[in-house]
């Protein structure tokens, strides 16, 4: 066994991780996790930590599910890989069929990718291809929202409206247009329906300015997860879809975070947010993070317009070596079986209100300016001065400080500047929620 010091020095020397603080590269490393079980992970010293963010919003069924390990091993022994260009495999076919059954509307054509970024990238490339095949090459503009996050490829990072993802990258993309974040907190004087109308008006004006013949797609998360769990006012998505339909604009719902139970449904678009989009992207929860997989489900109507004789000889020249990877698809099928057998969606619908009301109790504490969420995802927004209009540089350090104290007490929090996001594994129980809230409370009180 290698010693802790040995791991630390090798990590400092050779490991380069996402969002690395370059000033500290080579001098600092991250906590090393070694083991897990249920909603907990264990660090290098065997210390138990409650996994508040479920990894990266993904470990829905919890850790150490033996059936997952067995399904992965069995598929790796049977067929560990096949080229998706020349062949296919049974798990990919079965998973496409299953996802088509679970998606709303006629979103029945499923393309597999390697994760969320490649799912959104493929969805955008599909729309580009679609408009070119239809002979309207000018219809290319992509409308996205400030505070959105869609991934880390060049195209999806450019679609992400959070400046932190942009610094020192050449991110500009002339096809991309931003509109306002649907954040009710930024519009305290407006009712929900007034805000929907104001945002819809801005969307219509943007389309009119660009010319509808130039606008291809509206890309939106149902709730803006990495932007701080921003929940648009009721009716927002349906109103935007109606505008899209009027202008022949494709509506892509990025469900990389919300799909597979986070809001108590397989997909949140229709049943939670009242919209049947044209394309849904998914990743993370589809395998509960046991192995990488992403994908998109596309409306049959769209596909029909550019396939068969309408295809005019074209090939959809987009794909990945690991599209429809048999081991990933086998893991996803087992993951879905576990959801069904354990009634996980019903569990989230039942325990979600308890989770949200327990978190709401923290709103009384000093520092806490807002608590908002849906199902098993919540954001606690903090401000040194609760009534201040903007976020100061000092406020931006609060999330990290709360995380630091919570970590000492055995809870991992996802800090996002002045916000803390919690999205635990869906198998969490009421008493585990109580433990989580108690630690958070102490961490917030000690930070204040």
Of 254 and 403, CB closest to ligand PLP: 254
Tell me which residues in 29-88 interact with ligand PLP (CB under 6 A): none
* Residue 118 and residue 194 in contact, taking contact as beta carbons nearer than 8 Å: no
- Give the span between the Cα atoms of 397 and 386, in whole angstroms: 15
* 299 lies in the site for ligand PLP, by CB under 6 A: no
Which range in 43-51, 221-229, 233-241, 340-348 contacts ligand PLP by CB under 6 A? 221-229
* Residue 376 and residue 356 in contact, taking contact as beta carbons nearer than 8 Å: no
* 162 lies in the site for ligand PLP, by CB under 6 A: no
Spatial CB neighbours of 384, under 8 Å, sequence gap ≥ 6: 367, 392, 394, 395, 398
**Closest CB to ligand PLP belongs to which residue?**
116
CB of 182 to ligand PLP, least distance (A): 15
* 257 lies in the site for ligand PLP, by CB under 6 A: yes
* 398 lies in the site for ligand PLP, by CB under 6 A: no
* 283 lies in the site for ligand PLP, by CB under 6 A: yes
Of 126 and 401, CB closest to ligand PLP: 126
CB of 388 to ligand PLP, least distance (A): 28
Spatial CB neighbours of 266, under 8 Å, sequence gap ≥ 6: 102, 103, 259, 260, 345
- Cα angle 351, 437, 373; round to 5: 55
- Give the span between the Cα atoms of 273 and 287, in whole angstroms: 23
Spatial CB neighbours of 386, under 8 Å, sequence gap ≥ 6: 366, 367, 368, 369
* 296 lies in the site for ligand PLP, by CB under 6 A: no
Which of 52, 62, 91, 115: binder of ligand PLP (CB under 6 A)? 115
* 149 lies in the site for ligand PLP, by CB under 6 A: yes
Tell me which residues in 320-349 interact with ligand PLP (CB under 6 A): none
- Give the span between the Cα atoms of 213 and 193, in whole angstroms: 28
Q: Output the six-digit token pair for 439.
A: 């630690």
Of 1 and 30, CB closest to ligand PLP: 30
CB of 423 to ligand PLP, least distance (A): 10
Q: Distance of alpha carbon 285 from its chain centroid, rounded? A: 9
* 405 lies in the site for ligand PLP, by CB under 6 A: no
Angle subtended by helix axes 344-360 and 430-447, to nearest 10: 30
**Total interface residues for ligand PLP by CB under 6 A:** 16
* 222 lies in the site for ligand PLP, by CB under 6 A: no
CB of 148 to ligand PLP, least distance (A): 8
* 117 lies in the site for ligand PLP, by CB under 6 A: yes
* 297 lies in the site for ligand PLP, by CB under 6 A: no
Which of 65, 139, 141, 150: binder of ligand PLP (CB under 6 A)? 150
Sheet containing strand 377-382, strands side by side? 368-374, 377-382, 419-422, 414-416
Using only C-alpha atoms, the chain has a radius of gyration, in whole angstroms, of 22
* 225 lies in the site for ligand PLP, by CB under 6 A: yes
CB of 195 to ligand PLP, least distance (A): 22
Which of 62, 84, 116, 232: binder of ligand PLP (CB under 6 A)? 116
* 416 lies in the site for ligand PLP, by CB under 6 A: no
- Give the span between the Cα atoms of 59 and 54, in whole angstroms: 5
* 254 lies in the site for ligand PLP, by CB under 6 A: yes
- Cα dist from 123 to 79, 97, 116, 278, 288, whole Å: 28, 19, 11, 10, 22
* Residue 279 and residue 103 in contact, taking contact as beta carbons nearer than 8 Å: no
Of 181 and 358, CB closest to ligand PLP: 181
- Cα dist from 150 to 103, 119, 154, 224, 388, whole Å: 20, 9, 11, 10, 29
Which of 61, 71, 107, 120: binder of ligand PLP (CB under 6 A)? 120
Binding site for ligand PLP (CB under 6 A): 115-117, 120, 149-152, 221, 225-226, 254, 256-257, 283, 294
């Amino acid at each position: 066994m290698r010693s802790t010091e040995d791991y630390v020095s090798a990590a400092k020397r050779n490991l380069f991780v996402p969002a690395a603080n370059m000033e500290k590269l080579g001098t600092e490393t991250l906590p090393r996790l070694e083991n897990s079980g249920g909603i907990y992970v264990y660090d290098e010293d065997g210390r138990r930590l409650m996994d508040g963010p479920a990894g990266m919003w993904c470990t829905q069924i919890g850790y150490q599910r033996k059936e997952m390990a067995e399904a992965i091993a069995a598929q790796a022994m049977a067929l560990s890989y096949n080229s998706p260009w020349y062949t296919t495999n049974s798990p990919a076919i079965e998973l496409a069929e299953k996802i088509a059954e679970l998606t709303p509307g006629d979103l029945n054509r499923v393309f597999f990718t390697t994760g969320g970024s490649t799912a959104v990238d493929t969805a955008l490339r599909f729309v580009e291809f679609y408009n070119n095949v239809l002979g309207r090459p000018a219809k290319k503009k992509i409308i996205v929202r400030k505070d959105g996050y869609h991934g880390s490829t060049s195209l999806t990072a450019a679609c992400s409206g959070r400046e932190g993802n942009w610094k020192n990258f050449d991110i500009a993309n002339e096809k991309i247009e931003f509109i306002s974040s649907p954040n009710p907190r930024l519009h305290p004087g407006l009712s929900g329906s007034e805000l929907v109308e104001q945002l819809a008006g801005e969307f219509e004006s943007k389309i009119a300015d660009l010319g509808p013949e130039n606008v291809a797609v509206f890309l939106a998360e149902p709730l803006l997860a990495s932007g701080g769990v921003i929940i648009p006012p009721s009716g927002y998505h349906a109103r935007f879809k109606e505008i899209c339909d009027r202008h022949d604009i494709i509506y892509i719902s990025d469900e990389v975070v919300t799909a597979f139970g986070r809001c108590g449904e397989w997909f949140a678009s229709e049943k939670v947010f009242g919209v049947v989009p044209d394309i849904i992207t998914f990743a993370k929860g589809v395998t509960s993070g046991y192995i990488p997989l992403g994908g998109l489900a596309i409306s049959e109507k769209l596909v029909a317009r550019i396939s068969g004789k309408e295809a005019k000889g074209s090939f959809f020249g987009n794909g990945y070596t690991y599209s429809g990877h048999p081991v990933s698809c086998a893991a996803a099928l087992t993951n879905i079986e576990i959801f069904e057998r354990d009634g996980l969606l019903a569990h989230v619908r039942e325990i979600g209100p308890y989770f949200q009301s327990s978190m709401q109790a923290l709103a009384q504490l000093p520092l806490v300016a807002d608590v908002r969420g849906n199902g098993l995802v919540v954001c606690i927004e903090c401000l040194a001065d609760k009534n201040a209009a903007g976020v100061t540089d000092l406020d931006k350090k609060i999330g990290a400080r709360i995380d630091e104290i919570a970590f000492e007490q055995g809870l991992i929090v996802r800090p996002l500047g002045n916000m803390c996001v919690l999205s635990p594994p869906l198998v969490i129980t009421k008493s585990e929620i109580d433990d989580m809230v108690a630690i958070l409370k102490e961490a917030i009180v000690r930070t204040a």
